[in-house]
């Protein structure tokens, strides 16, 4: 331990100073004690702009220790800019081990997805949240939304969902789908696709939410009821996909559309890259023949991941990460 503390000369461990960590830690404990309630905290400026996960980074920095293994995902992917740079940040300022393996990680910081691999007790999922207040677009005044939460007055949210039905014939909200936590607070699950809402319900992992710009922290303890709002005649439903993942053949997972060329060629692949790569690396996975429309040769499934099939181009600095 002491060797580690002398290693880090320029920054305090995990970047934040100790008083800031204590303040955030107190907010996290209050958040856990009042599931779904947004605890105000004195969010700090971080060496990255708002919108890049400053809330999640501050939560992670406050809970992380030298023995933790950190995974960071951005829309399910381990290899996109946000995920790579936050992972690199913690490698630099906390010297912690990082991984892309969901099962091995003790802390998973996420932007807008919950991994497909089921989480276990002892894991902590840290969400980056842009707008923590689910009622904000219905009522812009913080004084009012606070009163609405205090009085458990959530009729407006049901009106919003009803207006969806009146306009579109169904609840058209597909992400940031409001949930009720432990029968009390209506909470924004952050802009995860509603596909992931059922995974929050009675999850064995602790879920922490950090909103840096909006200065709020909230939490869902393990084994806590998280129920998506709906109506008796319009029950909550998750997205379904006609085709399995074009790379690994996985069904019942969340898929991203990937454009392949300028002629309308596209395919649907797992949003969770770790899940997809694991399945493709596993010889027992029944391989999917490839049904990407107009994708030509690209659609033939390789047994191992190749750079040609990546959903995004590799970017600067990525290769430097030794993982």
Contact between 150 and other proteins by CB under 8 A: the answer reads yes
> Quick count: other Cβ atoms within 10 Å of Cβ 46?
18
CA–CA distance, 149 with 252 (Å, rounded to integer): 35
Site residue total, other proteins (CB under 8 A):
48
Which of 7, 9, 10, 19 touches other proteins by CB under 8 A?
19
Query: Strand pairing of 179-181 and 226-228?
Result: antiparallel
| Cβ neighbours of residue 75 closer than 8 Å, sequence gap 6 or more | 111, 112, 113, 256, 271
- Examine the residue annotation and report whether 319 is marked as an active-site residue of this protein: no
Distance, C-alpha 215 to centroid of its chain: 18
5 makes contact with other proteins (CB under 8 A)? yes
Nearest alpha-carbon partner for 270 in 233, 302, 310, 231? 310
Which is catalytic among the residues 31, 53, 245, 249?
245
DSSP string over 237-293? -----SS--TTT---SS-EEEEE-STTS-EEEEES-HHHHHHHHH-TTSPPP----B
31 is catalytic: no
66 binds other proteins (CB under 8 A): yes
For 17, 187, 226, 252, the CA distances from 184, given in Å and listed in that order, are 34, 9, 10, 30
Q: Which of 146, 158, 160, 310 binds other proteins (CB under 8 A)?
A: 146
18 part of the interface to other proteins, by CB under 8 A: yes
Which is it for the CA torsion 271, 75, 272, 194, positive or negative? negative
Binders of other proteins among residues 21 to 60 (CB under 8 A) are 21-23, 25-35, 37, 39-40
According to the binding rule CB under 8 A, does residue 11 interact with other proteins?
no
Q: Would strands 185-187 and 206-211 be described as parallel, antiparallel, or unpaired?
A: unpaired
Shortest spacing between CB 15 and other proteins, in angstroms: 12
Q: How far apart are CA 59 and CA 208, in angstroms?
A: 8
Q: In what order do the strands lie in the sheet with 179-181?
A: 185-187, 179-181, 226-228
Tell me how far, at minimum, the Cβ of 260 lies from other proteins, in Å: 44
Nearest to 212 by CA among 26, 28, 86, 44: 44
Angle of helix 81-93 relative to helix 54-63, nearest 10 degrees, comes to 30
- Binders of other proteins in range 102-131 (CB under 8 A): 121-122
Q: Exactly one of 248, 264, 289, 290 is catalytic; which is it?
A: 248
Q: Which of 47, 51, 204, 281 binds other proteins (CB under 8 A)?
A: 204
Stretch that binds other proteins, among 45-53, 62-70, 281-289, 294-302 (CB under 8 A): 62-70
User: Nearer to other proteins by C-beta: 83 or 125?
Assistant: 125
2 belongs to the binding site for other proteins (CB under 8 A): yes
* Site for other proteins contains 185 (CB under 8 A): yes
Q: Is 65 in the site for other proteins (CB under 8 A)?
A: yes
Catalytic option among 31, 36, 53, 212: 36
Q: Tell me if residue 276 is catalytic.
A: yes
Active site residues: 36, 245, 248, 270, 276
- Residues lying near other proteins in the complex (CB under 8 A): 1-2, 4-5, 12-13, 18-19, 21-23, 25-35, 37, 39-40, 62-66, 121-122, 146-147, 149-151, 182, 184-185, 204, 206, 219, 221-225
């Amino acid at each position: 331990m002491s060797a580690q503390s002398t290693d880090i000369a320029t920054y305090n461990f995990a970047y934040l100073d100790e008083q800031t960590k204590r303040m955030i830690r107190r907010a996290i404990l209050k958040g856990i004690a009042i599931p779904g309630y947004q605890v105000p905290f004195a969010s700090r400026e971080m060496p990255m702009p708002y919108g890049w996960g400053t809330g999640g980074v501050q939560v992670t920095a406050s809970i992380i220790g030298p023995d933790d293994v950190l995974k960071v995902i951005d829309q399910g992917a381990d290899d996109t800019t946000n995920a790579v740079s936050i992972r690199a940040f913690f490698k630099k300022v906390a010297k912690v081990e990082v991984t892309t393996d969901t099962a091995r990680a003790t802390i998973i910081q996420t932007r807008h997805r919950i991994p497909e691999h089921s989480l276990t007790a002892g894991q902590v999922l840290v969400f980056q949240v842009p707008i923590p207040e689910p009622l904000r677009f219905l009522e812009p005044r913080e004084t009012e939304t606070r009163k609405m939460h205090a009085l458990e007055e959530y009729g407006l949210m049901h009106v919003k969902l009803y207006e969806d039905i009146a306009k579109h014939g169904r609840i058209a909200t597909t992400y940031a789908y409001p949930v009720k936590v432990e029968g009390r607070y209506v909470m924004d699950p952050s802009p995860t696709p509603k596909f992931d809402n059922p995974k929050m319900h009675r999850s064995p992992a602790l879920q922490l939410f950090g909103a840096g710009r909006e200065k709020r922290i909230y939490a869902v303890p393990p084994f806590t009821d998280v129920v998506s709002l709906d109506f008796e005649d319009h029950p909550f439903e998750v997205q379904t996909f006609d085709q399995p993942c074009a790379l690994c053949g996985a069904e019942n997972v969340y898929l991203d559309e990937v454009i392949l060329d300028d002629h309308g060629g596209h395919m649907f692949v797992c949003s969770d890259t770790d899940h997809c790569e694991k399945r493709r690396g596993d010889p027992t996975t029944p391989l999917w023949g490839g049904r990407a429309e107009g994708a030509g040769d690209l659609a033939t499934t390789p047994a191992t991941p190749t750079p040609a099939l990546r959903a995004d181009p590799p970017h600067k600095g990525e290769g430097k990460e030794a993982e």
